Structure 1
């Protein structure tokens, strides 16, 4: 039987769950079990739990068949616990290093108290950490363990269960369970604390309480569900009525109840405007019904609010609140003037267009900072033309890129009046990066963020940990991301990363990447056409070399001698080179280029066609590997500077250990690999299969259709995915050639 049982209820936390579980499993104290309860989470949280349970026998997963809420999910977990003590941990929070050892040491020193209360700190999305404002209550003072009567101020701690360890026999003896509702912690916390004969404290931060930027706390949501607080305090006072031996706690708990009511009334992010009066009258009725004999109201403004509740004087309370709001409004006038000045800087014309109605049948597309017509936006554009031809499609293109716009594509030049008019009036704005800071998100507009890769390197807020790789203004970044309505994802891994590093209130669309549809649906003719456009002769092996950019390098530092590589591989191999540079510094390289042995494809408008044409991909840390894996063709990782890259830029997994194929860390190794069959052998294929299942799970050839149906047609029933084992992909060049010969 373990010493500790941790109950972790899980619901819609896929972006934070791995960090939570890692903080538990990484503890230096190991005598514990984890009861993780998947509360019918609609995201990938349940699958993450199962993956962890497969790797660690201490994790036991319960999958509920319906969503029951936080309290009842905890109850389900408590039915399975075996430990001496029960601890609760919310699935977006984390344990600090050494927390479980500190807790068990304190339990032993205090002689196994019924409750141990330990400290926590608030961890904010922007990197700030704020200590518990009442941490002084946890200072050691007096005996190792004590009844609440000796330290009644402990009731002033936040009403939470996850900063305490509860002895399991105490929980069972008092039949403690969580009720349903928003405020389920209140009756559990108060009833357990007043019932315990021996309580101990630990003045050490054991939990980091995550303060999410968006959607992390259901209590900070405008809703009538806050009326649940009345039921929860009814349960508290019912418990007092059933246990007259706890009568001394009636007045302190009455004060806690009234303070809680007033907090809900005071906060603008709690009650709908049309429910405030009703809530006040209900609170007033409970106040008068439970007012203890001889109760002394607090002094000052707080006591005045108590008096208004006692008198049911809602008009007086509302008037006082309105006066406070007026004073705040006066203080914000300066800020409003500044904001108006900023908006005027966007241009008078843009402002005039913003006042016109939205064009419900206009979609504006952009890709790679308006440099091309490509990537996921282009695939969505094509599918939109097929499924919703009534929607007009226009591309934002930089003036220096208009000569590369495909024939028949409508476009507006970035910076022109037509551009600003489209930005202001288009119902749909589609981009694989962000639109400029000056763009205003209008009510009714739909911003679709498609992204342009699966993240191996750190992204968004995670880049703050690697300042050498970026000079990004993260506040501005989040302002841009706040405009998103939808975020496209090709795998659960990406969804979890996006939701954590861009903590905004968008909807994740796990559809697959639209640009990869052609890699699934492509035909032999598509493959042959792509190769012919590059001048690749039948029977020629083509290796596509796509290195990534290193932000920490002032310029490109070649890590591969292409001329030598071409010589070693022989005349039947062509190197397709796509990167941020141009090889051609010698007569030999120039000759190799003239002979077609090295082809610079850096300016090729559609990378998907390069994928179709290539027999294999050579890359380092580029997200190209995730897309190319859809084709199930060989991938070779050439990573001569992995240690430097991963340390400076930061990565989400060790590519050398979880690669999509063979790995080389020097040019000599790479030449040996390519000169043998190892890069396309069984071991490489097994690695590629595991990689594909993890990162290509949604890419079944219908991604663009899913996006269009959901975003533009408003369909909520998603298209089913083709089972992974039944999926096809475009034929290899050899298969395409064989198909032609058979014909």
Structure 2
């Protein structure tokens, strides 16, 4: 028999759901099942559940046709559960590795009605805060089970559903289910404890309770927080129905109710200021309605004062007290900050003074009206005209000619700007003026910290690749690859985004987790890849001729990624040995990552006729179009090049070290876009034996393309322009019918297939 049924409701958790499911299914315990309930989620949560169900027989996916809310979704999962115990785990939380072994051991040893487990709150900055377990049980609780009246302090543990496993037959016999509405845990968790004959406590951290920066109800303002009253009313009405059997628990439950109400009211992110007086009045009414005849154990100190003000209905005094406490906290914080300030070194003073003058000019420009016709574009920290912003710029010139586009470039990269494209040089007054007054700001990285998000302006983050390595906040778990990163500053920059352009569903899921904020995702394909779809055979011939490549030559493009944790590292790669294998018709193009200062550190290949360093070539799309094969490691180049449906080799000599040090979102050696080589000898063998484009490699490539390239149909930039500049409704990308329509680059003279 299945011991534990996990019920995992999913609604708008696509960025976190994989981690949740992996943390359950990866536990070293076999007799479990997972019931994933897609609560008609508007994102790809349902598809993720279906994907996992297809590959793991312990997983079942339930797809709802209408949104019912968390409580009813849990009930639907409960009705389908077959396990002896049920564990309700939210789709954005995850289990601690190996914890299930101890949970199973405790369940089998004690057979409780309820087993409470410990948790930690995991914040966006990867900090954790402990639960109240140690305060509630200062001595280890041990394996003995108990009734709630014997240890009423148990009520002080967090009243959620996910920190307890409940015997399924016990729930059925007691008729305990979740009610609809917000704060649904209240009317489930407390009755479960009151009705249980055998409560166990495992003081082992099992759940990581994710403190989401956006999307959680605890960070959502609105009137729905008043639903907390209905949930507590259900608890007390149930106690009335159960009668004297639970009368001795009323004082402790009453104290928890007032504590909870005050917690909701005191959270500034939940109750709007104009609603707080009426919320307070509801607390006062419930205090009078449900006060136990013999009173209750009110807290001491400032918290006790709050309870007395609630009982007396003194909102004005309560509000003034709250304001005074906040002012005190602000004063203390300001004092601490002042102590930490130090004067800058003298040698920096002049530069800081110049910057201060320009920033003052910028602030002055901010007071002028926004230029409703101006769009500012940038790419790769002002390295020049390229990537997704360039593709959007070109589409906007065609579809929205009323928008005046201006590029920001470094002074040493001005030569990359095509003739006829307006630009300003970074750091000049014109640069600050453009940033201050532009209606639209488009970039594939973040603009500098000083840039303000003005009302009415639109910031578009295009990104610059589908992620293999972890990004954003996820890097906090891999400190070797995140040295010097300011994650708080990163989030301040992310908060400026209005739109995040995504190439595929996978990217949308990862960006949502790595960059949590209130932007709108435009899952439309990658604008820079439009050219790969629309290019003609004639264009490919011209590009090859410009690069000195003959029509019958087989061109291999080698494009490794940057390794932040190993500055200066280059994968083992011998161009001459590869050319020997390729034969006299082989040509090799080598392109370094843009972090490697391409123009200044170009290599000197031994055979200049057959090996060319193309690191300084302004548009990587040209190189994709002329290449017959791509060799890369963990670069996002593989996702772009896959659009062409040409052979790709993942050359991953340091995969395990990279995965552990830098962190990755998926295993490119297990789900590759083609053949895989883990040593240079293996790479040579693949080319020597034809494994580069074998049947197995083509099958892997087709799976990869179906997953990552389905939206690249040649119209991604158009979709961005129509939504962002023209305000048209969002439209999803179409399956890329044109993808792969070009012949291999070496056969471009034969025309399209």
- Shorter-chain-normalised TM-score: which range? over 0.9
Partner of 2:349: none
Question: Shift of the alpha carbon at 1:265?
Answer: 1.9
Partner of 2:346: none
CA distance in 1, matches of 2:122, 2:197: 33
Partner of 1:683: 696
Question: Shift of the alpha carbon at 1:142?
Answer: 8.4
Change (3 A) 1:494 1:166: same
Q: CA contact under 8 A between 2:560 and 2:635: conserved in structure 1?
A: yes
Structure 1 runs not aligned, ≥5 long: none
Q: Deviations over 1:184-234 (max 9, x none)?
A: 00011111211222222222222121223x125312322111110111112
Change (3 A) 1:4 1:465: closer
CA distance in 1, matches of 2:134, 2:377: 52
Stretch of structure 1 that moved more, 690-699 or 626-635: 690-699
Question: Shift of the alpha carbon at 1:470?
Answer: 4.1
CA distance in 2, matches of 1:253, 1:264: 17
CA distance in 1, matches of 2:164, 2:539: 62
Question: Shift of the alpha carbon at 1:375?
Answer: 0.3
CA distance in 2, matches of 1:165, 1:561: 57
CA distance in 2, matches of 1:585, 1:700: 38
Q: CA contact under 8 A between 2:538 and 2:749: conserved in structure 1?
A: no
CA distance in 2, matches of 1:642, 1:268: 46
CA distance in 1, matches of 2:50, 2:612: 46
Partner of 2:745: 733
CA distance in 2, matches of 1:194, 1:416: 69
Question: Shift of the alpha carbon at 1:565?
Answer: 2.9
SS state at 1:369 partner: coil
Q: Deviations over 1:680-738 (max 9, x none)?
A: 2322111111111122132222211222222223333324x323567554443356422
Partner of 1:31: 31
Q: CA contact under 8 A between 1:639 and 1:666: conserved in structure 2?
A: yes
Q: CA contact under 8 A between 1:119 and 1:135: conserved in structure 2?
A: no
Q: Deviations over 1:649-678 (max 9, x none)?
A: 333333333221223344444344334433
Stretch of structure 1 that moved more, 348-357 or 410-419: 348-357
Count of matched residue pairs: 731
Partner of 2:467: 455
Q: Deviations over 1:542-569 (max 9, x none)?
A: 2222222333444364732223433443
Partner of 2:711: 698
CA distance in 1, matches of 2:143, 2:413: 76
Partner of 2:450: 438
Change (3 A) 1:201 1:565: closer
Q: CA contact under 8 A between 2:466 and 2:503: conserved in structure 1?
A: yes
Q: How does 1:17-416 map to 2 (within 5 A)?
A: 17-110=17-110, 112-138=111-137, 139-140=139-140, 144-212=144-212, 214-245=213-244, 246-296=246-296, 297-328=298-329, 330-331=331-332, 347-416=359-428
Partner of 1:508: 521
Question: Shift of the alpha carbon at 1:633?
Answer: 0.7
CA distance in 1, matches of 2:140, 2:590: 66
The answer as to 2:562 corresponding to 1:561 is no
CA distance in 2, matches of 1:478, 1:306: 37
Q: CA contact under 8 A between 2:742 and 2:751: conserved in structure 1?
A: no
Change (3 A) 1:412 1:148: same
Partner of 2:585: 572
Q: CA contact under 8 A between 1:527 and 1:732: conserved in structure 2?
A: no
Question: Shift of the alpha carbon at 1:145?
Answer: 2.0
Q: CA contact under 8 A between 2:374 and 2:404: conserved in structure 1?
A: yes
CA distance in 2, matches of 1:203, 1:404: 61
Q: Deviations over 1:426-483 (max 9, x none)?
A: 1211111121222223333322111111222232233344444442323333332232
Q: Deviations over 1:470-505 (max 9, x none)?
A: 423233333322322222211222222222222333
TM-score, length of structure 1 as denominator length: 0.92
Q: CA contact under 8 A between 2:639 and 2:709: conserved in structure 1?
A: yes
The answer as to 2:655 corresponding to 1:642 is yes
SS state at 1:347 partner: helix
SS state at 2:204 partner: strand
Question: Shift of the alpha carbon at 1:345?
Answer: 7.4
The answer as to 2:502 corresponding to 1:489 is yes
Question: Shift of the alpha carbon at 1:328?
Answer: 4.4
2:642 to 620, 629, 637: 629
SS state at 1:307 partner: helix
SS state at 1:684 partner: helix
